[in-house]
Structure 1
């Protein structure tokens, strides 16, 4: 881990210092993602788009612009313009859509589930990354636009229904949108926002009281108004947040691209057995390399969903027929399904492996900005992309942890940092800090007592063993019980010390909830609006100036008033 000063000019509002943390030091990281970042040669055969290096973007852009593929730019631009105008996108986004229509612009893509209030902060970090990469490519002389794909057709409601904010003392506040009455298999983008006043009452009662709270909550109220669909609300929030940065939004519900979608789906049906064989082979390769495939593929896989109304159903191939098992065992022959693909392709949707391929058929995609799990399943996508004659390229999103002024003060008080929290529970951190406090000598004496007991019982046991093996074993068993009781007394003392030293326990909980909530990285849990409440709308500008999109490490941004 190392620290650098950010060279970009700062606004008068905030100052940022960046610290970079090797992903291999962060517990729980995807093994294939780590190899992709730090040992690309070992996985290059699974990622035909190339390594995530600065020369990837101009090389890919040149291949796209010189290649013979014809993209549906006119129809695509019409779809994009409709949705972006609907959600109130700014002139810069509309200008980017016009560039795409013009025929020379390429796209840097990303996407995410449409979580309540924007979901975890990583959705914003993805958008920041595509904007930064598009700007870099534009500086290199290639027209590039940043595009965010809204996964409105996802049906995992529980994944998008909650937002996590932080209260004044760092407590986690989970705000949950009520389930719709007909929730099973419903595509989340169609779910209407309801009970907005009750949701905002929770936020106003418990969220942190930052300088920008009033304006942030007002913007959220406007975006997440009763009656708006989740896709409209999420789109409006993203459009508002990135109004000055030209982010283009694509809704998975967009209509008007039937021909391109139909051809992709027909191929998925006709070549299904070959496609699944290629996927199974890739899974075998991954397992032989000691890696678990990110997406489990069975012989029944079709890569397709069937849409009916606002619900979607997985299509499986069983005995030569395609079944939507959850839809009353509705069946299609191969020819019937192909006919549906051609007649009404918008009645079908892609699964997680087919979606990026469909994206590359629609958009002149230079690269897709992906999180760790997505990066891992692109290894499987690479096995089947040649069927559609596309070569997906993946680029890791910038991982970010934001450290605000209060957290920095606590770091200084206890002489710790983000790294000290990783892989630890609050209780473990309290124990470690207590050992460095005035109680440390006493806690260490407990350790000495344990060591003395282990040494003495080992010596006595060795002398007993030739004389009485049974008593020697009894002593060994008793030792374990005595050591357990000593540890129990020590831990009880540490807990009591922390309770009586109320600041310590409270501060440690605050740090863990702020930086390592639920034993994972901040960006995977905390909603970005928490940081907007504390730091204001200029935070987006500041982060764009500070992040390093070509850096392989997790980026920790220390933010404070100038």
Structure 2
């Protein structure tokens, strides 16, 4: 009830057919995208797609991403690849379609702690990666040159690494886009009370169904800050030049500019689209198909061998290395090993002491078997010494085994489930680009399926 239809290929075809007839300023759109393609260094494949967009038959599959440092987390590239796959689905069915990444204005993310600046990334990887690494590091250096705006840097990186597919990239904060969107923004400001009511009622329905998971998103932003509901009346006096669509209105605004057949989104975006459903209809816009991005963990060979060695599965790693090792140790390591040796030594000592007493009492005493008693006493000392040495070696070997297990499991957790989170949310896209070069995207593209709405595991080497 909260999305137009299920995310299936046939639904995408239906939405594409509806959006072809949308009255849009296609020439103006193409002109803006052509100017941006030159600025971003897009290849001929992307420019060919731009020319196709001027045709009324062509639709777009959009992925909206934040202007994140160093390409953002891996999910940014997964969203781009998902849009490319969905557009390819339409093409195979004879429906012209172009994949497009919309870099959302004002949206930004922090770089992961361990990749918080380009210099650190280069120093950490340059020596170990050789020529392939040098090429990718050089690309990142050029895209993220000092003084480059985050959106421009990301646009250049995306244009470079997705060149074979002709991905079109748009900077939503560009003045040309804002100029094209200005008439729609004015209408939205005039209808602010009604749009607020629609979004609030839909939010209440979501909450009643148990879906709402966060605070109510803003409809508008003024100079980059969310506008509270009680400030809407003053928006009319402010003038629309400083007003931007907020999180709820942003995808509706994009749909007013572009022939959007589908909008690729992560889990957090679904509630935003659901809240905006009535707003699309308020503007006589067909809501796009909301398509979940492909969710995937990239499994390297070293981590794969670790999982196979210890009989682990990917979900096990989200509990963290301590919990995984504790579970493995309970089945493979003997916690009572020191106590077992202590019990053995105690039992041996007790029995030999008893035998010594029977044969002649204390060592050095007199009697028929005093010589045997002395031999038992001497052997007793040697055996207890050997047991102690075996105990030390066994305990050390078990400790070393646990240490190796912890080191290998911790590395696998860091690589596949860092901090107990999805890899795609925590590890930077630049990490994979630098380690494997941009060719890794072709491997990922070939092995993910945007129509499989489950988490996927992609073997990458």
Q: Same fold (TM over 0.5)?
A: yes
Q: Give the aligned partner of residue 316 of structure 2.
A: 420
- Residue among 550, 554, 560 paired with 2:451: 550
What per-residue deviation string (whole Å, max 9, x for no partner) do you get for residues 272-323 of structure 1?
22221222212221222223254415xxx6x22223xxxx23333437732x
Task: Pick closer, same or farther for the CA change 1:59–1:202 going to 2, 3 Å.
Answer: closer
Contact 2:19 2:286 in 1 (8 A): no
Q: CA deviation at 1:176?
A: 2.1
Q: Identify, as 1 or 2, the structure richer in strand.
A: 1
**Structure 1 unaligned regions, length at least 5:** 1-44, 165-173, 178-198, 323-331, 446-493
Q: Which moved more, 1:497-506 or 1:404-413?
A: 497-506
Local SS of the residue matching 1:46: coil
Q: 1:332-411 maps to which residues of 2 (within 5 A)?
A: 332=235, 334=236, 336-337=237-238, 340-341=239-240, 344=241, 347-392=242-287, 393-411=289-307
Q: 1:113-132 maps to which residues of 2 (within 5 A)?
A: 113-132=66-85
What per-residue deviation string (whole Å, max 9, x for no partner) do you get for residues 42-82 of structure 1?
xxx2112x1101101111111122x3x31111111111111
Q: 1:164-313 maps to which residues of 2 (within 5 A)?
A: 174-177=114-117, 199-201=118-120, 203-205=122-124, 209-210=128-129, 212-257=132-177, 260-296=180-216, 303-307=219-223, 312-313=224-225
Given the alignment of the two structures, is residue 316 of structure 1 paired with residue 271 of structure 2, yes or no?
Answer: no
Contact 2:317 2:420 in 1 (8 A): no
1:175, 1:542 → 2: CA distance?
24
Local SS of the residue matching 2:6: coil
Task: Pick closer, same or farther for the CA change 1:247–1:444 going to 2, 3 Å.
Answer: farther
Q: Which moved more, 1:120-129 or 1:548-557?
A: 548-557
Contact 1:175 1:203 in 2 (8 A): no
Q: Give the aligned partner of residue 435 of structure 2.
A: 534
Contact 2:30 2:54 in 1 (8 A): yes
TM-score, L = length of structure 2:
0.82
Contact 1:399 1:523 in 2 (8 A): yes
Task: Pick closer, same or farther for the CA change 1:406–1:443 going to 2, 3 Å.
Answer: farther
Q: 1:425-436 maps to which residues of 2 (within 5 A)?
A: 425-436=320-331
Q: Give the aligned partner of residue 150 of structure 1.
A: 103
Given the alignment of the two structures, is residue 91 of structure 1 paired with residue 91 of structure 2, yes or no?
Answer: no
Q: 1:496-535 maps to which residues of 2 (within 5 A)?
A: 501-535=402-436
Contact 1:112 1:151 in 2 (8 A): yes
Task: Pick closer, same or farther for the CA change 1:559–1:373 going to 2, 3 Å.
Answer: same
The count of corresponding residues between Structure 1 and Structure 2 is 404
1:201, 1:290 → 2: CA distance?
43
**Structure 2 unaligned regions, length at least 5:** 341-394
Q: CA deviation at 1:259?
A: 6.4
Q: CA deviation at 1:134?
A: 0.7
1:547, 1:541 → 2: CA distance?
10
Task: Pick closer, same or farther for the CA change 1:72–1:508 going to 2, 3 Å.
Answer: same
How large is the RMSD of aligned CA atoms in angstroms? 2.5
List structure 1 runs of 4+ shifted beyond 4 angstroms: 257-260, 440-445, 496-500
What per-residue deviation string (whole Å, max 9, x for no partner) do you get for residues 177-233 of structure 1?
4xxxxxxxxxxxxxxxxxxxxx42454236893463222211111111112221221
Q: Could you say which structure has the larger radius of gyration?
A: 2
2:140, 2:399 → 1: CA distance?
38
Q: CA deviation at 1:543?
A: 1.7
